[in-house]
Each structure stands twice: as C-alpha cells, then as structure tokens.
Structure 1
C-alpha cells in the first residue's frame, strides 16, 4: 500500500474526511475508490458514497477477498446511515464478516456485528440485538469501536426502560469518545446524552400533567402503589403484574378514558365516542359497549374492578392506592411514524414500512397526511424520495418507538 493511501486511511480513522480526499480525490484505483467512498459517507453524501464503495468492490481482484469484504461492511454502514433497510445486505455482510474473521481482521469483523446490532435496535428487535452483543467483548478494541459498543448498550437500556445501566454505558461511551478524539463520534455521544436526559413521557394524574425522565418512568412502572395505564405500550400494570392490551385497541381506549377520569366515572355516551369514534350513541353502540365492558372487566380482574354507575362506569384499583396514565410525549394519529423520522435522518417509505412492520401503502398515507400538515418534508422523487423532520424538541423519542414492554 502506497504512502498516500496509508495517509488517507489514517485521516479517515481520525475523522478527517477532507484530509483523506486531498490525498486520493483524483485517483481511480480500487483502494482510493474505497477511501473516497468512506470519506463521502462521513461528509454526508451517502448516494455518492454508496456508488464509490461498490465501484471499489468490483475493482478489487479475485485474490483480494479481504478488501472486498471491507467494502461490503462499508456499504452496510452507508445503508444504515441512509436508512436503506430494504436494501440491507444481510447475506453479503455475514459472508464478509466470516472472511474478516478468517483473515484475522477482528476489528472490522466486530464492526460488522455492531452494524447488525444497530439495525436490530432500530427495528426494536431488542432480544436479538442483546444476543449478538453478549458475544462481543469491546475491551481489546480501539476507542472508536468501544464507543460504538457502549452507545448500543445505552440504546438498548433506554428502550428497556433501565435508566441506571443506560447512564453507566453512556459514561463509558463518553470516556471512550474522548480517547478516540473524533468530533463526529463525540457529537453522537452528546446526542445520546441529550436524549437520555430529556423527558421521555408524560404523567396524567387526576387532571394534572407533568413530564417524566427515564428514571421517573422506570420508578413508576416498578411501583406497586400505583395502577399504571401505559399508553406508550398499551398495557395496564401494577408493579410486576402486566396486562397487555396491545392487540385490543377498543379495550385500551376504554381503560384509558376510565383511568383519566379516576376517581370519577365516565358516561356511557363519552365511552362510546372514545372507543368507537361515534358522534352520537345509539342502542347498537350501547349494546356493543356492554359487551366490551364485560371483556375489559374480565381482563382487568386481577388488578382492578370496573363498576357501573348511574351514568356510566368507574374504574378502581384492587391493590394500588391510585390510578395514573403514562402517556407518550407527543400523541397524535401518526406518532410512530414521527418517532422514527425524529432521529434527524432521512427515511424512505419502504424503510419506514419495514421498521413499523406494516404495509408501504399505510406508511405512505401517514406521510402524505403529515406532509399536508407541514410536520414533515420530503426530498427527491420516485425511489430516491426521502422523508425527514426536525427532532421533537425537548423530548426523547425512545418511548415512542414500538417495542414490547418488559414484564420481568
């Protein structure tokens, strides 16, 4: 490897893409193309970066399997940064990681694993992410890779609503980022710190409302003295006892309305409007309400009682002293779509459909509605069209993203 390639590689490792480009910008050989691609990725031109890395992979000869494997890892990182989840190179990345392991390039092999973990975290597949992470020991890695490891640990802990492990991992990430001395990495750690220290949810308690930090949310969910109607995960819980209503939207709408009115009752007409979206309650609505109330009463029996009153129904806890509602920091029809867009990256509708596990048509309807309200904006056309929005100011979006509520 010549001196210019070596110097460009060192510049990229130090987070200096312009310094790297000064050395290889006019070269067309395979190593220079790969370095130019990585430099363009660091500068944010992900489309050109992807094209350059692919050209480099084709330019390397048949005996340069290690170099081609590194190009595959670079392409996967570009795909993750551009939220190209539909084009994620799952099989090529696995093959590249095996090649890197066999060639003794443990650092890039580990980097490939971290990319997969970050993708799983983005999709809310926390169990799979933790299984892969358990096999990775960051101790022998350089500071930049240790930072990436601890940022992933922080993200998983936040999604699991475990504040103390999240803060401990973030402290380790901060220390590793200082040792790495890469401005972009330091900025990523600072962004994670802001998210961890921002309000994560809202507490609705007898007509009052206040924001909660992640630590407060964790304490609330662990409390046995309060019956929590969790509007973030659509569940009702009392300490370690959890009743999920994630697949029963009508029942959850009823229990939330009753919880917000506690210790008072809610009229039958109000419940019909809340649960069924009817403007006027007729006998068929009231009959359906009786059926749904019966189902809700049976499901909540271990934690609460649901009683009829003169005008409607009231909810009362069995063991807890009161009832509160844990609400998302931002609530609207398309909050889940906004949550993904609020990371500041640009998303395609196909990537959002994969992340939300729904159809692309459903996602496109949501995007069109949000765009009509000027809450998001798009760039590009056709398959190159991407959607983005500024971050939700003052809030972390970790509790907006879909993921199962831990029951342990």
Structure 2
C-alpha cells in the first residue's frame, strides 16, 4: 500500500473526507476507488459512493478477499444509512466471516455492529440483543465503539431501561470525543435527546400530561392498572394481558379506563368499539358479548361491572387506573414516527420495518403526501420519502441574510 492510500485511509478514519479525496481523486486503482467511495459516502453522495464501492469490489482480484469484504461492509453501511433494507443480509454475513477468519477483527466487529443496527431499525430486539451479547467490542476504534454503544442504548431505550441507556450514551459520547469526528458527536447528542423528549401521554381521570421515558418506565413498574395504547396491552405490576389482536376489546378497555372510576354509557361504548351511530338490538347484543370477553380477559387484573347507565372498570386491590397513549395519535402515526428520524426511506423499507404490505404503505404515503406531511424525491425504485424539514413553513425565509429582492 503506497503512502497516498495510507494517508487517505487515515484521513477517512478521522472524518476528513475532503482530505482523503485530495489524495486519491484522480486515481482509479481498486484501493483508491474504495477510498473514494467511502469519502463520497461521508460527503453525502450515497449514489456515487455505492457505484465506486461496487467498482472497487469487482476490481479486486481473487486473492484480495479481505479488500473485497471491506468494500461489501462499506456498501452495507451505505444501505443502512440510506434505509435500503432490501440490501442482501447474507452478503454482509459472508463478508464478516471472511474478515474474522483473515484476522481483521476491527472490520468484522464493525460488520456485526451494522447487523445489530439493522435489526434495531426493524424492531427485532431479541435478535439484536443476542448479537450484542456475542460481540466483543474491545478491538473497535473509538468511532466504531461509539456506534456500538449507540446500539446498546437503542436496545435499552426500546426495552424501557433508561439508566442502562443513559450509561451507554455517556460511553458513546466519550468514544465520539476520542474519535474527534464532529458528525459522530452530533449523532450521539441527538440520540441522547430521546431520553428528554416526550415519550407518551398519561390520561388520568380526564386530564392529560406528557411523560418522559423514565417516567413511563416508573409507571409500568408500579402497581397501577395501565391501559397501554402504545402497545395495545393491559398491565398491572407484573401482569400483562395482550390485546393487540383483539382491537374491539382494547377499545372497550380504553374507553372504560379513561372514565374510571366513573362508568361509561352503552351508547358511548358502542360508538368507540363499533363506530355505531345508531345502535340497534344487534349492536347491544354484540356489546354484551364483547364485555363478557373483556371481563374474562382481565379477570386477574380487574372486573367489568354493569351499572344502570353502562359499565365500569373496577381494578383489583383498589389500584389506580390510567391510560398510556402515544404523544401524538393520528392515522399512520407509526409511519410518521419512522420518517421522523430525518432519513430518506423507500416504501419497501418502510413496509419491512412496519411489517405491512408495500401496497398498504404506499397508500398511506400517498395520503400523507396529499396532506403535506411527507414529501418524496426520485421516481420508480429510486423514490425516497421523508418528512419536510419544517412542515408548513417556507424554509427559504428561514435562511440567514437578506433575500435576493431586499
């Protein structure tokens, strides 16, 4: 490896993409192509970066398996950043095994870290935790160590373990400081803001207030009877009754909990559970059946008693009753939550992350786009979706300095 290639690699390691490009911009040998691809990725031109890395991988000879594997890992990282979840996972695993067998433990660990981050993105927490447990982070340099700690924090946040998440984010900040890469420091800082941002709404006796993540954790650890509208379950202490597959029962439970300790009229329950504007005898009969099913489902946590006007939810042992709801409730809220990360997503990637059909996701995106809540660029398979930078405002007016007409 010649001195220019070495200098370019060292520049990339500290986030100096322009410095790396100055050294290899005019070269087209495989190592230079790979370094140019990584530099272009750091500069944000992901399309050009992917093309350069593919060219480099094809240009490396059969005896240069390690170099080819490194290119594949770099391609996988670009795919992750660009939310291309259809990128072949097997190719990354094959590259990781090659790097590990050839003694490149740093890049092998980085490849494993990318696998973990992808699993986190699509919500496969158990698989992500298993890979984290098998990963030895000791060979990782500071930049990769920061990414590893961010993955640990991501799992902890999704598991509602705020203290381990806070510790992991502190370690990530320390590693980012050692790496001295400004963009990485900003990424860690933005991730830490999740702990201070509103995570849910608490509805208690007709009043609402926002909760931070640690407050949600404390609530779910208490003996309070919680109708969890974030995951569609009913919780009390260690008891959990899942109702995600029984939407009518959950709608009834939430309506009863929002009014507790008062009762709810039968007409209101019919409207909430069945959207019935004009109830007839068949609706009332169905309500009695569903209330019986809800009473059986919640038998270990609470009772559903009939009153003169309707029904009331009575928790066991005099527990308090609250509803835990998402901070914002609207149609397609889960889709907007994914797009809120600021990255551009393909509709296929959104479908994979949400576990929905591509057709369903596309219809939702079209609805949101018509409402001005999301925007797209590109056409066909290259189309990507993202949230507008500042919804409802002409962003040109927010730029510093006078306008051309001033």
Name the TM tier (shorter chain).
Answer: over 0.9
Number of residue pairs aligned between Structure 1 and Structure 2: 391
2:226 matched to which residue of 1? 228
User: Any conservation in 1 of the 2:201–2:327 contact (CA below 8 Å)?
Assistant: yes
1:299-356 residue CA offsets vs partner (Å, 9 max, x unmatched): 0010011011122111111125310011101111211111111111111111111111
2:206 matched to which residue of 1? 207
Deviates more, 1:140-149 or 1:159-168: 140-149
User: Any conservation in 1 of the 2:195–2:214 contact (CA below 8 Å)?
Assistant: no
2:34 matched to which residue of 1? 34
1:12-41 residue CA offsets vs partner (Å, 9 max, x unmatched): 110111111111122211111111111111
**Structure-to-structure mapping, 1:306-385, within 5 angstroms:** 306-385=304-383
TM-score by length of 2: 0.94
**Structure-to-structure mapping, 1:22-171, within 5 angstroms:** 22-86=22-86, 88-171=87-170
Whole-angstrom CA distance in 1 between matches of 2:46 and 2:59: 20
Q: What is the RMSD computed on CA atoms of the aligned residues? A: 1.4
2:403 matched to which residue of 1? none
User: Any conservation in 1 of the 2:375–2:388 contact (CA below 8 Å)?
Assistant: no
**Secondary structure of the equivalent of 1:228?**
strand
**Secondary structure of the equivalent of 1:305?**
strand
**Secondary structure of the equivalent of 2:208?**
strand
CA drift at 1:278 = 2.4
**Secondary structure of the equivalent of 1:358?**
coil
2:395 matched to which residue of 1? none
1:29-54 residue CA offsets vs partner (Å, 9 max, x unmatched): 11111111111111111111111111
TM-score by length of 1: 0.94
User: Any conservation in 2 of the 1:227–1:320 contact (CA below 8 Å)?
Assistant: no
Whole-angstrom CA distance in 1 between matches of 2:23 and 2:278: 72
1:404 matched to which residue of 2? none
1:397 matched to which residue of 2? none
**Secondary structure of the equivalent of 2:349?**
helix
**Secondary structure of the equivalent of 1:319?**
helix
Whole-angstrom CA distance in 1 between matches of 2:114 and 2:256: 44
Greater relative contact order (Cα < 8 A, sep 6+): 1
Whole-angstrom CA distance in 2 between matches of 1:243 and 1:34: 52
1:217-263 residue CA offsets vs partner (Å, 9 max, x unmatched): 00000001x11100111111111111111111111111001111111
2:183 matched to which residue of 1? 184
1:179-203 residue CA offsets vs partner (Å, 9 max, x unmatched): 1111111011001111122111111
Unaligned runs of 5+ in 2: 392-406
User: Any conservation in 2 of the 1:4–1:23 contact (CA below 8 Å)?
Assistant: yes
CA drift at 1:392 = 10
User: Any conservation in 2 of the 1:342–1:392 contact (CA below 8 Å)?
Assistant: no
1:341-378 residue CA offsets vs partner (Å, 9 max, x unmatched): 11111111111111111100111111111111111111
1:405 matched to which residue of 2? none
2:262 matched to which residue of 1? 264
User: Any conservation in 2 of the 1:342–1:391 contact (CA below 8 Å)?
Assistant: no
